[in-house]
Amino acid sequence: MPYIANTDSDRAEMLRTAGFSSIGEMWEKAGVRFPYPALDGIPEGKSEYEVFRHLEELSAKNASRLVNFVGGGYYDHIIPSAVDAVASRGEFFTAYTPYQAEASQGTLQAIYEYQTAICRLTGMDVSNASLYDGGTALFEAMMMSVKITGRRQVVISGAVSPIFRRMIDTYCINLDVERIEVPAGQGTDSNLDELAKALTDKTACVIVQYPNFFGGVEDYSGITAAAHANGALAVCSAYPIALSVLKTPGEMDFDIVTGEGQSLGIPLSFGGPYLGFMAVKKQYMRKMPGRIVGRTHDLDGKDGFVLTIQTREQHIRREHATSNICSNESLCALSALIYLTLVGKQGFVNVGDLCMSKAVFARNELLRIKGVEPVGNGVFFNEFVVKVPCDAGELVGKLIDKGFAAGFPLGRYYHDRRDQLLIAVTEKRTREEIKALANAMEAFL
């Protein structure tokens, strides 16, 4: 039977029949506290266009028009219009979990192609169908290591995103996992010597970021070798755009690679939805969270795609599962695949080259300002740190008034770096915007 809403006259008649003058009186006589506050201050309903105009006025207050130099794991890259156009098609946008392979070949193939792209990007053997975000993926990699090694101690670099480290701390509140954090170096390095010294025969894994949170690019081959010498796994959280031009984690012999895939055609929005990716060496694929799509043949010999190796999922193995995750960010993964397909192999390399060259240009422009000093002298991709002669958070606030989101004040998470600013430059920024930022910063300083 279809649902028919009550009209005001219907409700008034029912209340009169029941002997009440109002709904509030009915709740009061029933001895039940009305669960919702009074709606007296709520205005009358508006037409669709009136609501549109109101929302348009509210959106004008957003900071999206600022020239964005903020990074820290989430970046303002160019997104081809075709990404949203294709991902918004009804076949993808409303698709359900592809449990019925015979009715979900399109979705399954898209996930399979996404997995292939992630493997090529990271230099690893096997990728899953995606995870919720970069922080969740890193936590899952840590727990994979704990289960594979049977050890309960984890060594993590202080140059890993503080946002990710806080997420891991939250997840671990009720878990028996000891986390040893090795402070980052004074500049923009991960303090590799101290990381190596922290590894013992009790270590399940070592976790690093590539490039690290300060933008530093380091060769972790020595760390992976030290981890393996102690029977531990090596875990890397990687920035996918950087992998267009840098040595892959697979070439450095990492066992598990995760990362935040937002930079692959997904807008910053208001913090999500984002995309976590994970790729591993083949011998560990049965311990990965989530699902894997595989390619097979039907009875007629035709290619087909199916969900495979799901035994680690909680909906299959229940309490014996290696993870509680039995879903994925399929639409965001599709967007990432569309982005990578659109830009192509050489186009992807060009994006990385532009990010690097523009970041070098921006750093040189800012270092011409009196009082601005470099932090660290190592190699960087598209992020770098500068020291300013004031509180970096205060500087960022002043530059917002000039139309710039000038960077990430490191004092927010590193109390000894209150005068340091992390600046990210993507292919989206122009030379004119970079020079304008430098001029605005110089005027304030």
- 327 and 95 Cβ atoms separated by less than 8 Å: no
Q: What is the per-residue pLDDT for 36?
A: 62
Calculate the CA 267 to chain-centre distance. 11
Q: How far apart are CA 317 and CA 354, in angstroms?
A: 46
With 0-12 / 13-18 / 19 or more C-beta atoms within 10 angstroms meaning exposed / middle / buried, residue 407 is buried
Q: How far apart are CA 427 and CA 413, in angstroms?
A: 27
Q: What is the per-residue pLDDT for 38?
A: 64
Question: 3-state class of 376 per DSSP?
Answer: coil
pLDDT per position as a tens digit, 133-178: 999 999 999 999 999 999 999 999 999 999 999 999 999 999 999 9
Q: What is the per-residue pLDDT for 335?
A: 97
Q: Say if residue 265's pLDDT is above 90.
A: yes
Q: Say if residue 298's pLDDT is above 50.
A: yes
Higher pLDDT, 402 or 45: 402
Q: Say if residue 313's pLDDT is above 90.
A: no
pLDDT per position as a tens digit, 180-214: 999 999 899 999 999 999 999 999 999 999 999 99
Mean pLDDT of 383-412: 97
Range in 96-100, 110-114, 192-196, 254-258 with the lowest mean pLDDT: 96-100
Q: Say if residue 308's pLDDT is above 90.
A: no
- 181 and 191 Cβ atoms separated by less than 8 Å: no
Range in 84-88, 95-99, 200-204 with the lowest mean pLDDT: 95-99
Q: Say if residue 287's pLDDT is above 50.
A: yes
**Residue 274: which of 436, 113, 131 has the closest Cα?**
131
Residue 117 binned pLDDT confidence (cut-offs 50, 70, 90): very high
What pTM, to 2 d.p., does this model score? 0.86
Residue 2 binned pLDDT confidence (cut-offs 50, 70, 90): low
**Residue 249: which of 264, 260, 238 has the closest Cα?**
238
Mean pLDDT of 371-391: 96
Higher pLDDT, 23 or 395: 395
CA distances from 27 to 16, 18, 24, 33, 330 (A): 14, 12, 5, 7, 45
Mean pLDDT of 332-343: 97
- 216 and 184 Cβ atoms separated by less than 8 Å: no
Q: Using CA of residue 81, residue 82, residue 83, residue 89, what is the dihedral sign?
A: positive
Q: What is the per-residue pLDDT for 1?
A: 43
Q: What is the per-residue pLDDT for 321?
A: 73
Mean pLDDT for all residues in the chain: 92
Q: What is the per-residue pLDDT for 416?
A: 95
- 178 and 206 Cβ atoms separated by less than 8 Å: no
pLDDT per position as a tens digit, 385-394: 999 999 999 9
Q: How far apart are CA 151 and CA 436, in angstroms?
A: 52
**Residue 272: which of 284, 260, 281 has the closest Cα?**
260
Write down all domains in the chain, each with its CATH number in brackets: 67-76+345-444 (3.90.1150.10), 81-339 (3.40.640.10)
Residue 325 binned pLDDT confidence (cut-offs 50, 70, 90): confident
- 293 and 112 Cβ atoms separated by less than 8 Å: yes
Q: What is the per-residue pLDDT for 400?
A: 94
Q: Say if residue 216's pLDDT is above 90.
A: yes
Q: Say if residue 247's pLDDT is above 60.
A: yes
Which amino acid, 141? A
**Residue 255: which of 125, 118, 113 has the closest Cα?**
125
Q: Say if residue 246's pLDDT is above 70.
A: yes
Q: What is the per-residue pLDDT for 65?
A: 81
Structure tokens at 290: 């989530």
Q: What is the per-residue pLDDT for 231?
A: 98
What proportion of the chain, given as a percentage, has pLDDT over 70?
95
Q: Say if residue 360's pLDDT is above 70.
A: yes
Q: What is the per-residue pLDDT for 390?
A: 97
